[in-house]
Amino acid sequence: MSLLTDRLAPRIVEEDGAFRTRMLGIAAGMNDVIALGRGDPDFHTPAHIVEAAKAALDANHHHYTGPTGIPQLREAIAEDLTHRYGLDYAADEVVVTAGAQEAMMLTMLGMCAPGDDVLITSPRFTSYDTAVRLCGGNPIPVPTFEHDDFALDVAEIEKRITPRTRMFVLVSPNNPTGAVTPPEKIRAIAEMAIRHDLIVLSDEIYAQMIYAPNEHLSIATLPGMRERTITLNGFSKTYSMTGWRVGYLAAPADLVHMLTEPRHTLSINACTISQHAALAALTGPQEPIEAMISEYAERRAWLMPALDDAGFTYGHPGGAFYIYTNVSSSGLPSPDFCLRLLEETGVMLFPGTMFGDETTDYIRISYLQPLPLIQEAMERIASFTAHARSEA
Ligand SMILES: Cc1ncc(COP(=O)(O)O)c(C=O)c1O
Protein backbone atom coordinates (compact mmCIF):
# COMPACT_ATOMS: atom_id res chain seq x y z
CA MET A 1 0.00 0.00 0.00
CA SER A 2 1.34 3.40 -0.90
CA LEU A 3 0.03 6.75 0.20
CA LEU A 4 -2.02 7.04 -2.96
CA THR A 5 -3.41 3.51 -3.17
CA ASP A 6 -4.33 3.86 0.48
CA ARG A 7 -6.64 6.70 -0.51
CA LEU A 8 -8.23 5.10 -3.53
CA ALA A 9 -11.93 5.80 -3.83
CA PRO A 10 -13.93 2.74 -2.79
CA ARG A 11 -15.20 2.34 -6.35
CA ILE A 12 -11.75 1.17 -7.42
CA VAL A 13 -11.16 -2.47 -6.56
CA GLU A 14 -8.33 -4.66 -7.74
CA GLU A 15 -9.39 -6.65 -10.78
CA ASP A 16 -7.62 -9.87 -11.55
CA GLY A 17 -5.70 -9.23 -14.73
CA ALA A 18 -2.85 -11.44 -13.53
CA PHE A 19 -3.70 -14.44 -15.67
CA ARG A 20 -3.86 -12.49 -18.93
CA THR A 21 -0.58 -10.72 -18.08
CA ARG A 22 1.05 -14.05 -17.30
CA MET A 23 -0.09 -15.58 -20.62
CA LEU A 24 1.05 -12.55 -22.62
CA GLY A 25 4.39 -12.56 -20.75
CA ILE A 26 5.00 -16.22 -21.61
CA ALA A 27 3.99 -15.66 -25.25
CA ALA A 28 6.36 -12.67 -25.53
CA GLY A 29 9.30 -14.92 -24.67
CA MET A 30 8.45 -17.57 -27.31
CA ASN A 31 8.91 -17.70 -31.09
CA ASP A 32 6.33 -19.59 -33.12
CA VAL A 33 3.24 -18.56 -31.09
CA ILE A 34 -0.13 -18.92 -32.81
CA ALA A 35 -2.36 -16.42 -31.05
CA LEU A 36 -6.03 -17.33 -31.04
CA GLY A 37 -6.68 -15.44 -27.84
CA ARG A 38 -7.62 -11.83 -28.44
CA GLY A 39 -10.73 -10.54 -30.16
CA ASP A 40 -8.73 -8.43 -32.59
CA PRO A 41 -9.18 -9.28 -36.31
CA ASP A 42 -6.05 -10.39 -38.14
CA PHE A 43 -7.09 -8.39 -41.22
CA HIS A 44 -5.80 -4.88 -41.60
CA THR A 45 -8.28 -2.03 -41.98
CA PRO A 46 -9.40 -1.92 -45.65
CA ALA A 47 -7.26 0.43 -47.73
CA HIS A 48 -10.00 2.89 -48.69
CA ILE A 49 -10.66 3.56 -44.99
CA VAL A 50 -6.97 4.19 -44.33
CA GLU A 51 -6.88 6.50 -47.36
CA ALA A 52 -9.84 8.47 -45.98
CA ALA A 53 -7.90 9.01 -42.74
CA LYS A 54 -4.88 10.25 -44.69
CA ALA A 55 -7.13 12.61 -46.64
CA ALA A 56 -8.63 13.85 -43.36
CA LEU A 57 -5.13 14.67 -42.11
CA ASP A 58 -4.30 16.49 -45.34
CA ALA A 59 -7.55 18.42 -45.10
CA ASN A 60 -6.52 19.63 -41.63
CA HIS A 61 -9.18 17.74 -39.70
CA HIS A 62 -6.88 18.04 -36.70
CA HIS A 63 -9.27 19.70 -34.31
CA TYR A 64 -11.95 18.91 -31.77
CA THR A 65 -15.35 17.94 -33.09
CA GLY A 66 -18.65 18.35 -31.30
CA PRO A 67 -18.93 15.87 -28.40
CA THR A 68 -21.49 13.68 -30.17
CA GLY A 69 -19.43 13.41 -33.37
CA ILE A 70 -19.26 14.97 -36.83
CA PRO A 71 -22.74 15.46 -38.33
CA GLN A 72 -21.96 13.48 -41.52
CA LEU A 73 -20.95 10.43 -39.46
CA ARG A 74 -23.98 10.65 -37.17
CA GLU A 75 -26.16 10.85 -40.28
CA ALA A 76 -24.41 7.89 -41.93
CA ILE A 77 -24.72 5.79 -38.74
CA ALA A 78 -28.43 6.56 -38.43
CA GLU A 79 -28.95 5.56 -42.08
CA ASP A 80 -26.88 2.41 -41.68
CA LEU A 81 -28.90 1.34 -38.63
CA THR A 82 -32.12 1.81 -40.58
CA HIS A 83 -30.88 0.09 -43.70
CA ARG A 84 -29.26 -2.92 -42.01
CA TYR A 85 -31.41 -3.55 -38.99
CA GLY A 86 -34.64 -1.59 -39.52
CA LEU A 87 -33.83 0.65 -36.53
CA ASP A 88 -35.40 4.07 -36.38
CA TYR A 89 -32.85 6.60 -35.12
CA ALA A 90 -32.27 10.13 -36.40
CA ALA A 91 -28.76 11.60 -36.64
CA ASP A 92 -29.28 13.54 -33.40
CA GLU A 93 -30.00 10.26 -31.63
CA VAL A 94 -26.46 8.98 -32.20
CA VAL A 95 -23.44 9.63 -29.95
CA VAL A 96 -20.09 8.77 -31.49
CA THR A 97 -17.68 7.46 -28.84
CA ALA A 98 -14.12 6.19 -28.48
CA GLY A 99 -15.09 2.60 -29.24
CA ALA A 100 -18.21 0.80 -28.07
CA GLN A 101 -16.27 0.57 -24.81
CA GLU A 102 -16.79 4.26 -24.09
CA ALA A 103 -20.44 4.00 -25.13
CA MET A 104 -20.80 1.24 -22.53
CA MET A 105 -19.24 3.37 -19.78
CA LEU A 106 -21.31 6.38 -20.80
CA THR A 107 -24.48 4.29 -20.68
CA MET A 108 -23.65 3.04 -17.19
CA LEU A 109 -22.77 6.54 -16.00
CA GLY A 110 -26.12 7.66 -17.31
CA MET A 111 -28.36 4.80 -16.26
CA CYS A 112 -26.80 2.82 -13.40
CA ALA A 113 -27.26 4.37 -9.97
CA PRO A 114 -25.54 3.07 -6.79
CA GLY A 115 -27.29 -0.09 -5.63
CA ASP A 116 -28.84 -0.92 -9.03
CA ASP A 117 -28.66 -4.48 -10.29
CA VAL A 118 -27.63 -4.87 -13.92
CA LEU A 119 -28.25 -8.25 -15.50
CA ILE A 120 -25.64 -9.32 -18.06
CA THR A 121 -25.62 -12.14 -20.62
CA SER A 122 -22.93 -14.56 -19.38
CA PRO A 123 -20.25 -15.86 -19.90
CA ARG A 124 -19.46 -12.33 -20.80
CA PHE A 125 -17.26 -9.47 -21.84
CA THR A 126 -16.33 -8.57 -18.27
CA SER A 127 -15.76 -4.86 -18.95
CA TYR A 128 -19.49 -4.68 -18.29
CA ASP A 129 -18.88 -5.78 -14.70
CA THR A 130 -16.24 -3.10 -14.24
CA ALA A 131 -18.41 -0.36 -15.74
CA VAL A 132 -21.36 -1.32 -13.53
CA ARG A 133 -19.20 -1.50 -10.40
CA LEU A 134 -17.56 1.85 -11.13
CA CYS A 135 -21.06 3.31 -11.04
CA GLY A 136 -21.84 1.61 -7.73
CA GLY A 137 -24.13 -1.02 -9.26
CA ASN A 138 -24.11 -4.80 -8.99
CA PRO A 139 -23.39 -6.85 -12.09
CA ILE A 140 -25.62 -9.94 -12.08
CA PRO A 141 -24.64 -12.62 -14.57
CA VAL A 142 -27.41 -14.43 -16.44
CA PRO A 143 -25.91 -17.81 -17.32
CA THR A 144 -26.23 -19.48 -20.70
CA PHE A 145 -25.43 -23.13 -21.34
CA GLU A 146 -23.73 -25.31 -23.91
CA HIS A 147 -26.80 -27.55 -24.27
CA ASP A 148 -28.69 -24.48 -25.58
CA ASP A 149 -25.75 -23.35 -27.73
CA PHE A 150 -25.38 -20.61 -25.09
CA ALA A 151 -28.59 -18.92 -26.22
CA LEU A 152 -30.31 -16.74 -23.64
CA ASP A 153 -33.29 -18.16 -21.82
CA VAL A 154 -35.88 -15.67 -20.62
CA ALA A 155 -36.60 -17.78 -17.54
CA GLU A 156 -32.95 -17.41 -16.46
CA ILE A 157 -33.25 -13.64 -16.77
CA GLU A 158 -36.59 -13.46 -15.04
CA LYS A 159 -35.58 -15.45 -11.99
CA ARG A 160 -32.83 -12.91 -11.24
CA ILE A 161 -35.10 -9.87 -11.36
CA THR A 162 -35.54 -8.07 -8.04
CA PRO A 163 -36.89 -4.62 -7.14
CA ARG A 164 -33.29 -3.38 -7.59
CA THR A 165 -33.01 -4.58 -11.19
CA ARG A 166 -32.55 -1.63 -13.47
CA MET A 167 -31.19 -2.89 -16.76
CA PHE A 168 -30.57 -5.97 -18.84
CA VAL A 169 -27.47 -6.08 -21.04
CA LEU A 170 -28.26 -8.12 -24.12
CA VAL A 171 -25.17 -9.09 -26.11
CA SER A 172 -26.03 -10.91 -29.32
CA PRO A 173 -23.95 -12.33 -30.89
CA ASN A 174 -22.17 -12.76 -27.59
CA ASN A 175 -18.51 -12.69 -26.67
CA PRO A 176 -17.03 -15.26 -25.79
CA THR A 177 -19.65 -17.78 -26.95
CA GLY A 178 -20.57 -16.47 -30.42
CA ALA A 179 -24.17 -17.26 -29.41
CA VAL A 180 -26.91 -15.53 -31.36
CA THR A 181 -30.12 -15.05 -29.42
CA PRO A 182 -32.80 -16.08 -31.95
CA PRO A 183 -35.57 -13.62 -32.95
CA GLU A 184 -38.30 -15.42 -31.01
CA LYS A 185 -36.23 -15.18 -27.84
CA ILE A 186 -35.49 -11.51 -28.50
CA ARG A 187 -39.26 -10.98 -28.72
CA ALA A 188 -39.74 -12.77 -25.42
CA ILE A 189 -36.97 -10.66 -23.82
CA ALA A 190 -38.70 -7.50 -25.08
CA GLU A 191 -42.01 -8.56 -23.54
CA MET A 192 -40.24 -9.36 -20.30
CA ALA A 193 -38.43 -5.98 -20.29
CA ILE A 194 -41.76 -4.20 -20.71
CA ARG A 195 -43.45 -6.38 -18.09
CA HIS A 196 -40.73 -5.61 -15.51
CA ASP A 197 -40.12 -2.06 -16.71
CA LEU A 198 -36.43 -2.70 -17.45
CA ILE A 199 -34.04 -0.71 -19.61
CA VAL A 200 -32.20 -2.77 -22.24
CA LEU A 201 -28.66 -2.09 -23.36
CA SER A 202 -28.36 -3.96 -26.65
CA ASP A 203 -24.71 -4.54 -27.59
CA GLU A 204 -24.78 -5.38 -31.30
CA ILE A 205 -21.07 -5.03 -32.03
CA TYR A 206 -20.97 -8.47 -33.70
CA ALA A 207 -24.32 -8.18 -35.49
CA GLN A 208 -22.85 -8.19 -38.97
CA MET A 209 -21.03 -11.45 -38.35
CA ILE A 210 -23.95 -13.83 -38.41
CA TYR A 211 -23.74 -17.22 -40.11
CA ALA A 212 -26.78 -18.67 -41.90
CA PRO A 213 -29.34 -19.81 -40.90
CA ASN A 214 -28.96 -17.62 -37.79
CA GLU A 215 -30.66 -14.23 -37.82
CA HIS A 216 -30.10 -11.00 -35.97
CA LEU A 217 -33.03 -9.03 -34.60
CA SER A 218 -32.39 -5.58 -33.10
CA ILE A 219 -34.55 -5.39 -30.00
CA ALA A 220 -35.24 -1.64 -30.40
CA THR A 221 -37.24 -2.41 -33.58
CA LEU A 222 -39.92 -4.17 -31.49
CA PRO A 223 -43.07 -2.40 -30.27
CA GLY A 224 -42.52 -0.43 -27.07
CA MET A 225 -38.76 -1.04 -27.08
CA ARG A 226 -37.23 2.02 -28.74
CA GLU A 227 -38.09 4.14 -25.71
CA ARG A 228 -36.41 1.73 -23.26
CA THR A 229 -33.38 0.61 -25.31
CA ILE A 230 -29.89 1.95 -25.82
CA THR A 231 -28.30 0.35 -28.88
CA LEU A 232 -24.52 -0.03 -28.89
CA ASN A 233 -22.34 -0.72 -31.89
CA GLY A 234 -18.97 0.17 -33.38
CA PHE A 235 -16.41 -0.17 -36.11
CA SER A 236 -13.73 -2.29 -34.39
CA LYS A 237 -14.91 -5.76 -35.32
CA THR A 238 -16.87 -5.34 -38.57
CA TYR A 239 -14.36 -3.06 -40.26
CA SER A 240 -11.19 -4.38 -38.58
CA MET A 241 -10.70 -1.02 -36.92
CA THR A 242 -9.89 -1.94 -33.30
CA GLY A 243 -7.09 0.60 -32.93
CA TRP A 244 -9.01 3.54 -34.40
CA ARG A 245 -11.39 3.68 -31.43
CA VAL A 246 -14.75 4.52 -32.92
CA GLY A 247 -18.06 3.22 -31.67
CA TYR A 248 -21.42 4.70 -30.84
CA LEU A 249 -24.65 4.48 -28.96
CA ALA A 250 -28.07 5.25 -30.36
CA ALA A 251 -30.96 6.26 -28.11
CA PRO A 252 -33.93 8.64 -28.07
CA ALA A 253 -32.94 12.30 -28.52
CA ASP A 254 -33.83 13.43 -24.99
CA LEU A 255 -31.41 10.90 -23.49
CA VAL A 256 -28.70 11.85 -25.99
CA HIS A 257 -29.19 15.45 -24.92
CA MET A 258 -28.68 14.51 -21.25
CA LEU A 259 -25.60 12.36 -21.99
CA THR A 260 -23.85 14.98 -24.09
CA GLU A 261 -22.09 16.78 -21.24
CA PRO A 262 -20.89 13.59 -19.52
CA ARG A 263 -19.70 12.38 -22.92
CA HIS A 264 -17.77 15.64 -23.35
CA THR A 265 -16.19 15.07 -19.96
CA LEU A 266 -15.00 11.55 -20.82
CA SER A 267 -12.87 12.36 -23.87
CA ILE A 268 -14.47 15.43 -25.55
CA ASN A 269 -14.86 13.56 -28.83
CA ALA A 270 -13.83 10.36 -30.58
CA CYS A 271 -10.58 10.91 -32.52
CA THR A 272 -11.43 13.30 -35.37
CA ILE A 273 -9.34 11.47 -37.97
CA SER A 274 -10.90 8.15 -36.98
CA GLN A 275 -14.37 9.64 -37.35
CA HIS A 276 -13.56 10.50 -40.97
CA ALA A 277 -12.23 6.98 -41.47
CA ALA A 278 -15.44 5.56 -39.97
CA LEU A 279 -17.49 7.68 -42.35
CA ALA A 280 -15.59 6.14 -45.27
CA ALA A 281 -16.19 2.70 -43.76
CA LEU A 282 -19.95 3.25 -43.92
CA THR A 283 -20.20 5.11 -47.20
CA GLY A 284 -17.44 3.36 -49.18
CA PRO A 285 -17.38 -0.07 -50.84
CA GLN A 286 -18.63 -2.90 -48.64
CA GLU A 287 -16.94 -5.71 -50.63
CA PRO A 288 -13.78 -5.79 -48.45
CA ILE A 289 -16.00 -6.27 -45.39
CA GLU A 290 -18.01 -9.00 -47.07
CA ALA A 291 -14.73 -10.71 -48.03
CA MET A 292 -13.53 -10.67 -44.39
CA ILE A 293 -16.83 -12.04 -43.14
CA SER A 294 -16.86 -14.85 -45.70
CA GLU A 295 -13.32 -15.73 -44.67
CA TYR A 296 -14.49 -15.95 -41.03
CA ALA A 297 -17.32 -18.19 -42.20
CA GLU A 298 -14.83 -20.45 -43.97
CA ARG A 299 -12.61 -20.70 -40.89
CA ARG A 300 -15.59 -21.48 -38.69
CA ALA A 301 -16.80 -24.14 -41.13
CA TRP A 302 -13.37 -25.79 -41.05
CA LEU A 303 -12.88 -25.49 -37.30
CA MET A 304 -16.14 -27.01 -36.04
CA PRO A 305 -15.66 -30.47 -37.61
CA ALA A 306 -11.97 -30.34 -36.64
CA LEU A 307 -13.04 -29.82 -33.00
CA ASP A 308 -15.53 -32.70 -33.37
CA ASP A 309 -12.75 -34.94 -34.71
CA ALA A 310 -10.54 -34.03 -31.75
CA GLY A 311 -13.36 -35.05 -29.37
CA PHE A 312 -14.34 -31.59 -28.12
CA THR A 313 -17.86 -30.30 -27.66
CA TYR A 314 -18.88 -26.65 -27.94
CA GLY A 315 -21.90 -24.40 -28.25
CA HIS A 316 -22.73 -23.96 -31.93
CA PRO A 317 -21.69 -20.34 -32.56
CA GLY A 318 -24.18 -18.47 -34.72
CA GLY A 319 -22.04 -15.36 -35.03
CA ALA A 320 -18.94 -13.34 -34.09
CA PHE A 321 -15.56 -15.05 -34.52
CA TYR A 322 -15.36 -17.23 -31.44
CA ILE A 323 -15.97 -20.86 -30.58
CA TYR A 324 -16.51 -21.53 -26.89
CA THR A 325 -15.06 -24.99 -26.54
CA ASN A 326 -15.43 -27.50 -23.73
CA VAL A 327 -12.03 -28.91 -22.78
CA SER A 328 -13.13 -30.82 -19.68
CA SER A 329 -12.44 -34.13 -21.47
CA SER A 330 -8.72 -33.25 -21.31
CA GLY A 331 -8.83 -33.70 -17.53
CA LEU A 332 -7.32 -30.21 -17.12
CA PRO A 333 -9.10 -27.17 -15.70
CA SER A 334 -9.26 -24.48 -18.41
CA PRO A 335 -6.59 -22.11 -16.96
CA ASP A 336 -4.11 -25.01 -16.70
CA PHE A 337 -5.12 -26.20 -20.15
CA CYS A 338 -4.33 -22.76 -21.61
CA LEU A 339 -1.06 -22.29 -19.73
CA ARG A 340 0.28 -25.73 -20.59
CA LEU A 341 -0.94 -25.51 -24.19
CA LEU A 342 0.95 -22.23 -24.57
CA GLU A 343 4.12 -23.41 -22.87
CA GLU A 344 4.23 -26.81 -24.57
CA THR A 345 2.88 -26.01 -28.05
CA GLY A 346 2.94 -22.24 -28.55
CA VAL A 347 -0.83 -21.92 -29.10
CA MET A 348 -2.40 -19.09 -27.14
CA LEU A 349 -6.07 -19.32 -26.15
CA PHE A 350 -7.96 -17.77 -23.28
CA PRO A 351 -9.83 -19.74 -20.59
CA GLY A 352 -13.54 -19.16 -19.95
CA THR A 353 -12.63 -18.00 -16.44
CA MET A 354 -11.44 -14.75 -18.07
CA PHE A 355 -15.04 -14.23 -19.21
CA GLY A 356 -16.66 -14.65 -15.84
CA ASP A 357 -17.34 -18.37 -16.35
CA GLU A 358 -17.67 -20.01 -12.93
CA THR A 359 -16.72 -23.41 -14.34
CA THR A 360 -13.25 -24.33 -15.54
CA ASP A 361 -14.58 -26.31 -18.50
CA TYR A 362 -14.22 -23.87 -21.38
CA ILE A 363 -11.75 -22.03 -23.55
CA ARG A 364 -12.47 -19.35 -26.13
CA ILE A 365 -10.96 -19.89 -29.56
CA SER A 366 -10.84 -16.70 -31.64
CA TYR A 367 -10.45 -17.75 -35.26
CA LEU A 368 -8.51 -14.65 -36.10
CA GLN A 369 -5.56 -16.08 -37.98
CA PRO A 370 -5.30 -17.25 -41.60
CA LEU A 371 -6.74 -20.74 -42.10
CA PRO A 372 -3.35 -22.53 -42.52
CA LEU A 373 -2.27 -21.19 -39.10
CA ILE A 374 -5.59 -22.23 -37.56
CA GLN A 375 -5.05 -25.70 -39.03
CA GLU A 376 -1.54 -25.84 -37.58
CA ALA A 377 -2.88 -24.66 -34.19
CA MET A 378 -5.60 -27.30 -34.29
CA GLU A 379 -3.04 -30.06 -34.89
CA ARG A 380 -1.08 -28.86 -31.88
CA ILE A 381 -4.23 -28.62 -29.74
CA ALA A 382 -5.38 -32.12 -30.75
CA SER A 383 -2.06 -33.79 -29.97
CA PHE A 384 -1.62 -31.87 -26.72
CA THR A 385 -5.12 -32.93 -25.64
CA ALA A 386 -4.61 -36.57 -26.63
CA HIS A 387 -1.50 -36.54 -24.45
CA ALA A 388 -3.31 -34.87 -21.54
CA ARG A 389 -6.13 -37.40 -21.78
CA SER A 390 -3.65 -40.27 -21.65
CA GLU A 391 -2.07 -38.76 -18.51
CA ALA A 392 -5.43 -38.31 -16.78
C1 LIG B 1 -19.30 -7.51 -26.54
C2 LIG B 1 -18.32 -6.40 -26.74
N3 LIG B 1 -18.74 -5.13 -26.58
C4 LIG B 1 -17.91 -4.10 -26.73
C5 LIG B 1 -16.57 -4.30 -27.05
C6 LIG B 1 -15.68 -3.09 -27.18
O7 LIG B 1 -15.38 -2.81 -28.52
P8 LIG B 1 -14.70 -1.46 -29.01
O9 LIG B 1 -13.40 -1.85 -29.65
O10 LIG B 1 -15.66 -0.88 -30.02
O11 LIG B 1 -14.52 -0.56 -27.86
C12 LIG B 1 -16.08 -5.61 -27.24
C13 LIG B 1 -14.66 -5.85 -27.54
O14 LIG B 1 -14.16 -6.95 -27.51
C15 LIG B 1 -16.99 -6.68 -27.08
O16 LIG B 1 -16.59 -7.95 -27.23
pLDDT of the residue at 204? 98
pLDDT of the residue at 18? 80
CATH number belonging to the domain at 3-45+287-387, selected among 3.90.1150.10, 3.40.50.410, 1.20.120.1200, 3.65.10.10: 3.90.1150.10
Query: Cα of 140 to ligand 1 centre, how many Å?
Result: 19
3-45+287-387 and 64-283, same CATH topology: no
| SS3 per residue for 250-306 | ECCHHHHHHHHHHHHHHHCCCCHHHHHHHHHHHHCCCHHHHHHHHHHHHHHHHHHHH
Mean pLDDT computed over every residue of the chain: 96
Buried b (16+ CB within 10 A) or exposed e, 241-258: bbebbbbbbbbbeebbee
Q: Convert the pLDDT of each residue in 214-223 to its tens digit.
A: 999 999 999 9
Helix ranges restricted to H, the chain:
3-6, 18-28, 47-58, 71-85, 99-111, 127-134, 154-158, 183-195, 253-267, 272-283, 287-309, 334-345, 371-391
| Mean pLDDT across 356-375 | 97
**CA-CA distances (angstroms) from residue 276 to 57, 70, 83, 242?**
9, 8, 20, 15
pLDDT of the residue at 11? 87
| Mean pLDDT across 350-354 | 95
- As a whole number of angstroms, the distance between CA 299 and CA 194 comes to 39
Q: Convert the pLDDT of each residue in 85-129 to its tens digit.
A: 999 999 999 999 999 999 999 999 999 999 999 999 999 999 999
Residue nearest to atom 14 of ligand 1 (CA): 39
pLDDT of the residue at 337? 97
Task: Check: CB of residue 323 under 8 Å from CB of residue 365.
Answer: yes
pLDDT of the residue at 17? 75
Residue nearest to atom 13 of ligand 1 (CA): 39
Q: Convert the pLDDT of each residue in 185-223 to its tens digit.
A: 999 999 999 999 999 999 999 999 999 999 999 999 999
CATH number belonging to the domain at 64-283, selected among 2.60.120.890, 3.20.20.80, 3.40.640.10, 3.40.720.10: 3.40.640.10
Ligand 1 pocket test, pick from 201, 237, 245 with the greatest ligand atom count within 8 Å of Cβ, gives 237
User: In terms of C-beta density within 10 A (0-12 exposed, 13-18 middle, 19 or more buried), how is residue 84 classed?
Assistant: middle
For 21-30, 110-119, 142-151, 321-330, which range has the lowest pLDDT when averaged over its residues? 21-30
Residue 15 has pLDDT above 80, yes or no: no
pLDDT of the residue at 391? 85
| Mean pLDDT across 74-93 | 98
CB 1: neighbour CB atoms within 10 A? 7
| Higher-scoring residue by pLDDT: 157, 16 | 157
Handedness of CA 293, 127, 224, 193 (dihedral sign): positive
| Mean pLDDT across 322-346 | 96
Instruction: State pTM to two decimals.
Output: 0.97
**CA-CA distances (angstroms) from residue 187 to 121, 181, 273, 299?**
16, 10, 39, 31
pLDDT of the residue at 308? 97
| Mean pLDDT across 249-269 | 98
Query: Cα of 249 to ligand 1 centre, how many Å?
Result: 12
- As a whole number of angstroms, the distance between CA 175 and CA 172 comes to 8
Q: How confident is the model at residue 331 (pLDDT cuts 50, 70, 90)?
A: very high
| SS3 per residue for 265-276 | HHHCCCCHHHHH
Q: List the chain domain ranges.
A: 3-45+287-387, 64-283
Query: Cα of 176 to ligand 1 centre, how many Å?
Result: 11
Query: Cα of 232 to ligand 1 centre, how many Å?
Result: 10
Per DSSP, the residues of 165-214 read EEEEEEESS-TTT-PPPPHHHHHHHHHHHHHTT-EEEEE-TTTT-B-TT-
Query: Cα of 237 to ligand 1 centre, how many Å?
Result: 8
Minimum-distance ligand 1 atom for the alpha carbon of 98:
11
- Output DSSP code: residue 3: H
- As a whole number of angstroms, the distance between CA 174 and CA 168 comes to 14
- Percent of the chain past pLDDT 70, that is, above it, reads 100
Q: Convert the pLDDT of each residue in 16-32 to its tens digit.
A: 678 888 899 999 999 99
Ligand 1 contacts (CB < 6 A) are: 39, 99-101, 125, 171, 175, 203, 205, 234, 236, 242, 247
pLDDT of the residue at 143? 97
Task: Check: CB of residue 199 under 8 Å from CB of residue 117.
Answer: no
User: In terms of C-beta density within 10 A (0-12 exposed, 13-18 middle, 19 or more buried), how is residue 304 classed?
Assistant: middle
pLDDT of the residue at 58? 98
Preceding omega of 213 cis (within 30 degrees of 0) = yes
Task: Check: CB of residue 292 under 8 Å from CB of residue 41.
Answer: yes
Task: Check: CB of residue 172 under 8 Å from CB of residue 179.
Answer: yes
Q: Which long-range contacts (CB under 8 A, 24 or more apart) does 56-63 make?
A: 56/272, 56/273, 56/276, 56/277, 57/273, 61/272, 61/273, 61/276, 62/272, 62/273, 63/272
Helix 371-391 vs helix 334-345: crossing angle, to nearest 10? 120
